[in-house]
Structure 1
C-alpha cells in the first residue's frame, strides 16, 4: 500500500473525524453543557434520547476522506447516505463546514450555537433524527431503505462532472430494490453522465440481527460485486492509525480510476461498459463508542444501533457518557465552540462543500423546459364522439417534441419499467433511444449509451432514478401500468413527504414535479385479467398533504394534452395522470378541452338537456371509460324517457370535488351546489374505487344524493364491456340507477327495467359464445354518428 498521507495529514484527518463524532454524540444526548466545561450532570442530558449511533462514525469517517479528495482534485461531489438514520453525521459535517450556520443563522459557530445544534436534534420543534430535507446537502431521506443507489444514479445522469459518493448500509443491502439498483451501471454513460462511487459500509448488524453480506466469505462478497460489474476494493479494520492511510489510498485510486474511465470515453468515444470502482468498508458498528456498558457488548454489536445508553437515570451512565465524549478530546478540536482553524481548513469551500453543493438543492439549477405548443397536436373533433384516437399515443407525440426541443440541454428523460411502447410513447424513439451501456446485439431495438428513455423492469429503479433526477434540478415523466405502480407506494410516500417539508424551508428551491402517467387501465386489462386490474394508487396518493398531490383523469386526447403541458410546467407537486391507451371516442375540440381542464370540471352542455328547467338527475363521470358509459346511458335515457332532464358533469381534476378548506384546487360549496344541485340524485361513474368519491365529497351539501359506481374488485379475463358489467359501471346499470333514484320514474319504467335485464343476459350469453362484445356495444357512437379512426403523424398536424 502506498501511503498518500503524511503523518500530519493523518493526524488532522483523525482530529476532524473526532470532531464530527463528538458533535454526533452530542446531538443524540446533550441538552446543555456542549463543550463539557462543567462536570456532566443528568440535567445536561435530554429527558428523551432518540437517534442512531451505529452507522454514524462510519459515515463521518468516509465524509472527511472525501473532503480531502474534493480539495485535492477540485471535485464536484455530493454525498448520498443509504443507512437509514445517519442524520447526526450529515448534520455534524454540515455544521463543521459552516453550511449549517449559513442556512440556520441561529445555530451559530460558537458555544451557544453548538448548544442549539445539540438541543434541536430529535427534539420537539427541532429536526428529525434522520437525514431529511432540513439537512443541507441531502437528496435522500433517511430510512428510505433500498433506494440510495437509484437516487445516486438519477443524480449522475446528465451531470458529466458530478461524482456521487453513495454509501450503502449493509442492512439496506438486504432489500430487493437495492439488489436491483446495483445494475444501474448498465445505464450510466461515461461520456455524458457523471459517476457513482458506491461504498458498501459493512458494520455487521441491523437493529437486532447480523447482516447477510457481513457474514459471507470474502471471496463470495468480492465475486458478488464483480458479477454485478464493479471493481471492488476493500477497506477493513478498527484501528484509526491504519484505517486512515488505507482509506485515503483506496479512495484516491478509485477517484483516479473514475477520472481515467471518463477521460478515455470522452476522448475516444464509448466502446464498452466500464468496470466502475466500488469500495467495501468494514468497520465495527458503533465504532469508537464504549466497548461494553453494564457488562454488555456495545461497540461492534447491534446494541450500538440506536442509543447505546437509553436509560441515563441508571447509576454511572452519565459518567460513561462524559468519558466517551471526552475520549474525542474536544479541547483539541474547538475554540469557544468553533472548529479550530487548522481543522476547518480541511473542508472544501463554497459550493465544493458537499453540504452546499447546488446539485443537492436542485431547484437552484433548474432550467425551464422548452415546450412546444400542445395545441398543435390537437385531435380534430368535428362534433362530440365523431373521432377516434389513442390518447396516450397523442401524448407520446407531444413528448417526442418536448424531448427534441431539450436534447441540447440534457434535462429531460422518460422513465418506464419496459412499458413506454406498450403505453404508446413509442414516437419518442424517433428522436432518442433507450439508454443502454451493456452488451448490444445487431438486431436490438433502439438501444444506445446516450439514449434518454430509461427502461428497466423494476418500478423501484425507475422511481428512484427519476427522483434523483428531479431532486438535482431536471425534468421527467414516469409511465407505468396502473395496477403495478403500487410497487413504489412507499417511495411515493417519501417523496411526497419530502416535498411537503420543502415547502416550509425557505432555502430549498422548488423542483420540477414528479409526473406519473398511469395507463393500461383497469377497464382495459380484460386480456391480462384480475391480477392487472387495480385503480387504487389514486386512493393512496390522496392520503398525502393536499398542497403536494394532484390527480387528473382526462376523458380524451385533447384534455390529456392540456393536462400534460400543465404537469410539465408545475413545481413541487406529485401529478398523477390516469389515461387510456386504447382507441376511444374523442369528445372535445382543443378550445373546449383547454377550458374544461382549466376549470377542472364542468357541465357538458352538448350532452345535457336541462338548461331551461334544471335537471331531474345529474350524471357525473370521471375517467375515460366511465365517461363513455355515462354518455351511452344518457343516450338510452333520451330514448326511453325523452322528457327526463339530464345534466352531464365531467370531472378532470379529481381534487376539485373537495372543498377549498381541504385542497387548494377545491371549488367553493356554492359552485359545487350549482353544478351538482343539493337535492337531485347524482349518478356518479368513477374510474376507481367508489368510496373515494364519498370521501372527497362527504362535506358537500348534496352528499347524501351521490350514488357512485366504480371498480368493486370484480375482474377476470373477459371482454372490455364485461369488465364494466361485472362492476355495475356499465350503461345499463347506470340507467337502472336513474330509474331507481329519480322520484316517480320507477312506476313508469317496468318495461325498461325488463329490457335492461334482458340485454344484460343477452350480453353474457353472447360474449361466452363469441368471445367479443355485442356489435351494438362495440360500435356505439354518441348520436349514432359514423366515427373515423385517426392517428397521429407529425407534431404540427392534427391527429
Structure 2
C-alpha cells in the first residue's frame, strides 16, 4: 500500500446535505438562545411577552454559535468515517452549545428523561439554564459528554491529550477559545504533540476558535496577521487549516472540506507510524475565524453586537426596565432561525434533521470515555509488602522512602503494561525525586529528536514528563477522567502552580458524586517530595509546605492527606491510594536517606489506623502521661524522637506519650471528616488536660484549625514551618523554624514546671547547643556529628 498525499481540495459535499447541516446548526442556535432567555413559550407559538422571559438573564452567547457550528460539522464526519470522538469545550462559558448539541442528538434526554423531545421538554430545557436549582452556564459535569468544565480557562488541550493517551482509537475534538489561548497553560499545551505516539495513543484535533474578543478586549491571536498566525502554529509543529468568514453557506463548505482533510491526514499519519520514516508527524489543527455572536443581533441601540465584544454575554437586555423594542428584537432574532422548519408541531426535531446525529455510543454526548468510570478497571497490583524495608529495630538507616517506593511503582507499571492504563506524570523530576528505578521497566514517552546521550527516552513509555506542572496535572486529569489510573510526582513547593487546577478537579469530583449517571473515576494521586525540610541547596524559594492547607479547604468526601514517616508506611499508603476511587490523595514523603521506624506489619497497622501511640518511644503504659508528644511528617517524627531521647536521658521521671499521625484528617472531628476521630477516641489519645507538643510538617496553624473544637485544644502547642528558610543544612532548617529537637525539649520544660531545677539546667544546656550548632555549621558547612550520627536507643 502506497502513501497517498492528501490535497485540501477534497470531494465536495452534496448541496442537500449542506442545507440539512445548516438547518441543524440553526436548531442548535435556536435552542441556545432559548436557554439564555426563555422560561415559557419555547416554540414561539404565541407572541413573545415579558412573562415568557426569565427574570435574571445569565449566560454567554458570544462563543456559542461557533461551537454549535463545530459540533454540527463534527457529527457529519463521525458518521462518514465512523469515528470514536469526544468533544471538549475550552471556551469558558459555552454551555448552551454543549447542552444544545447533546439534546439534539438525544443523550441529554436519556440521562434526564424529564427533558423530553417535545414542547414541554423544551420548556424545561430552557428554564433550567443558569437558573436556581438548574445547570450552570458552562460545560459542567451535569452535561453528558463533558470531561472538561469551562469555569476556568487554560486546560482544555491538556485534558484532551491526557484523554487520548493509551486510547489509540479515540479522537478528541478540542475547541480552544482565543481568549483561553492567552493563558500560560494553554500556550504551553500546544507542545503536547511532541509526546503522542501515533501507534499507541489517540489523536487530538485542536480547533482554535478565533471570534476576536474576550469579555471586553480583542484577543491577541485574532489580531495578528494571517501569515504570522500560520507561522506560529507551524512552528509549534502543527499543520494549520484555516476556515474563515461570516457567510454561512461558504463557511459550511469550507468547514466540511477542512474536516475531511483533517481526518485524511490523521489516517495517513497513522499509516506512516506503521512504516516510520524518522519524521515527527505534523498533526492537523483547524483555525476557525468567525464573528463573535455569529447570527445574533447585528446592532442594538447604536452599538455593534455581532462581531464585537458586546455579544460576549447577554447581547440584548430584555426586561421591564429595558427598552420595549428589545422584546420584539429578541422575537425576530429567534424567528430568524425559522423554528417551524426545524421542529414539528409537538416540538420534536424533524426526522430528516435528527438523522444527521450519530447513533449510540458514536454520539459525542454518549461516548463512554466521557463517563470514564464506565471503562475503569482495577489496577493489577503487586503485594506492596514484598518491597518492605527491613526494620529489625526502630531507627535503622534507610535508603530513602521514595526510592523504596519506586521499586513498587516500577512493578505496578510492569503489571499493567499490557492493559496500558497506568502512567506516572512529572515535571522532569522522576529522577530527582528518586523514582528512577521505574526506568528499569519503562521509558519516558517522547516523540521529538533523541540524542545518543539521552536517557530513558522512547516513542512509547509509561512515564511522561514536561517541565510544566500545569501540563502534568492536566494530562493526568484527562487520563483519569477517561477511565485510567495515574500518579503525579512533584516538588512540594511547586505543586502550588496547579492550585486552581486542583480546585476545579476537586469540584468536579464532588459534583459528580451527586449525579446518579456519573461513575466514579480513579483517584488523583499526588506524591510530593523534595520537601520544605530538605532544600539544602535550593533555599527559601523551594521551601513551602502550604499546598496541604489549600487541599484541606475542599469537601471531606473528596480529599485525603497522608504524611508517612518512613518507607514501609509510604508503601502501605501508596498501595491504598492507587486502589482508591474518586479522591484527591496527597502524599508527602521523603526522598533522602532517613531513619526507619516500623517494620511492615507495624506500618500496615499504623497506616490502617491513621494515628497511633508509638509504644517503643512511650513510657506511660502504666500511668497518666505528663506530656503528649505528637508528630506528623518524616522530619518532625525524627526530631520528636530525638527530643524524646534527650528527655529520657535527662528527665527519666517524665511520663511521655508519643503519637504519630500519618492520616492528617484523623485530627479533625468525625463530625467534619469521615476519617476524623470521635471526641472520645481523640481524648483517649491526647488527653483532656495534658500539654501536647506537636511537631508538624507544615504551617502550625493548620493543626490548630483541624483541632479547634477539641477539649484539649488550649493545651495544643504546635511547631512547624514558620516561613523561615535559606540555603542551609537540613538540621538548621528545623532550628530556624524552632522545630528541632532542642526547641521541642525546651517547650516541654516550659509546659512542665515539675521539672524544676533539672529542667532549668537542661534548658540552658540546650540553648548552648543551639549556639554551638550555629558556630559549627558556619565553620564546617555541615551539621554537627551528634546530629548526623544520631541513633535512636530503645
TM over 0.5: yes
- 2:142 corresponding residue in structure 1: 134
2:184 to 176, 187, 190: 176
The CA distance in 2 between the partners of 1:469 and 1:14, in whole Å, is 35
The CA distance in 1 between the partners of 2:756 and 2:749, in whole Å, is 5
- Offset of 1:309 from its aligned partner? 1.8
CA distances 1:25-81 after superposition (whole Å, capped 9, x unpaired): 111111111111111111110000110100000000001101000001110000111
1:202 to 183, 197, 210: 210
Q: Secondary structure at the match of 2:771?
A: helix
Q: Secondary structure at the match of 1:413?
A: strand
2:393 to 383, 387, 390: 383
1:275 to 282, 291, 311: 282
8 Å contact kept, 1:513–1:573: yes
Q: How does 1:288-687 map to 2 (within 5 A)?
A: 288-313=295-320, 314=322, 315-335=324-344, 336-687=346-697
- 2:291 corresponding residue in structure 1: 284
CA distances 1:674-733 after superposition (whole Å, capped 9, x unpaired): 000010000000000000000000011111110000000000000000000000000000
8 Å contact kept, 1:235–1:280: yes
The CA distance in 2 between the partners of 1:132 and 1:712, in whole Å, is 39
CA distances 1:285-334 after superposition (whole Å, capped 9, x unpaired): 00000100111110000000011023523121111111111110111111
The CA distance in 1 between the partners of 2:350 and 2:178, in whole Å, is 34
8 Å contact kept, 1:389–1:586: no
After TM superposition, the structure 1 stretch with the greater mean CA deviation from structure 2, 659-668 or 559-568, is 659-668
- 2:26 corresponding residue in structure 1: 18
CA distances 1:398-419 after superposition (whole Å, capped 9, x unpaired): 0000000000001010000000
8 Å contact kept, 1:204–1:211: yes
The CA distance in 1 between the partners of 2:18 and 2:169, in whole Å, is 28
CA distances 1:420-457 after superposition (whole Å, capped 9, x unpaired): 00101101101110010001111211101111111100
Would you identify which runs of 4 or more consecutive aligned residues in structure 1 move more than 3 Å? none
- Offset of 1:272 from its aligned partner? 2.6
CA distances 1:165-214 after superposition (whole Å, capped 9, x unpaired): 11110001111111110000000001111011111000000000000000
Aligned residues: 783
- Offset of 1:143 from its aligned partner? 2.5
2:53 to 24, 40, 45: 45
- 2:156 corresponding residue in structure 1: 148
The CA distance in 2 between the partners of 1:743 and 1:11, in whole Å, is 90
2:264 to 256, 264, 267: 256
Alignment of 1:164 with 2:172, yes or no, is yes
- Offset of 1:338 from its aligned partner? 1.1
Question: How does the TM-score come out when normalised to structure 2?
Answer: 0.98
- 2:775 corresponding residue in structure 1: 765
8 Å contact kept, 2:473–2:498: yes
Q: Secondary structure at the match of 1:477?
A: strand
2:735 to 725, 748, 753: 725
Q: Secondary structure at the match of 2:260?
A: helix
The CA distance in 2 between the partners of 1:242 and 1:97, in whole Å, is 25
The CA distance in 1 between the partners of 2:27 and 2:528, in whole Å, is 49
Alignment of 1:711 with 2:718, yes or no, is no
- Offset of 1:745 from its aligned partner? 2.5
8 Å contact kept, 2:425–2:476: yes
CA distances 1:588-608 after superposition (whole Å, capped 9, x unpaired): 000000000000001001100
8 Å contact kept, 2:91–2:150: yes
Question: How does the TM-score come out when normalised to structure 1?
Answer: 0.97
The CA distance in 1 between the partners of 2:82 and 2:278, in whole Å, is 28
- Offset of 1:368 from its aligned partner? 1.0
The CA distance in 2 between the partners of 1:463 and 1:746, in whole Å, is 54
After TM superposition, the structure 1 stretch with the greater mean CA deviation from structure 2, 602-611 or 385-394, is 385-394
8 Å contact kept, 1:740–1:746: no
1:221 to 219, 226, 229: 229
The CA distance in 2 between the partners of 1:781 and 1:111, in whole Å, is 78
- 2:251 corresponding residue in structure 1: 243
- Offset of 1:146 from its aligned partner? 1.0
Q: Secondary structure at the match of 1:389?
A: coil
- Offset of 1:389 from its aligned partner? 2.5
Q: Secondary structure at the match of 2:137?
A: coil
- Offset of 1:350 from its aligned partner? 0.4
1:750 to 747, 755, 760: 760
The CA distance in 2 between the partners of 1:217 and 1:374, in whole Å, is 57
8 Å contact kept, 1:630–1:685: yes
8 Å contact kept, 2:651–2:758: no
The CA distance in 2 between the partners of 1:78 and 1:427, in whole Å, is 36
The CA distance in 2 between the partners of 1:65 and 1:220, in whole Å, is 27
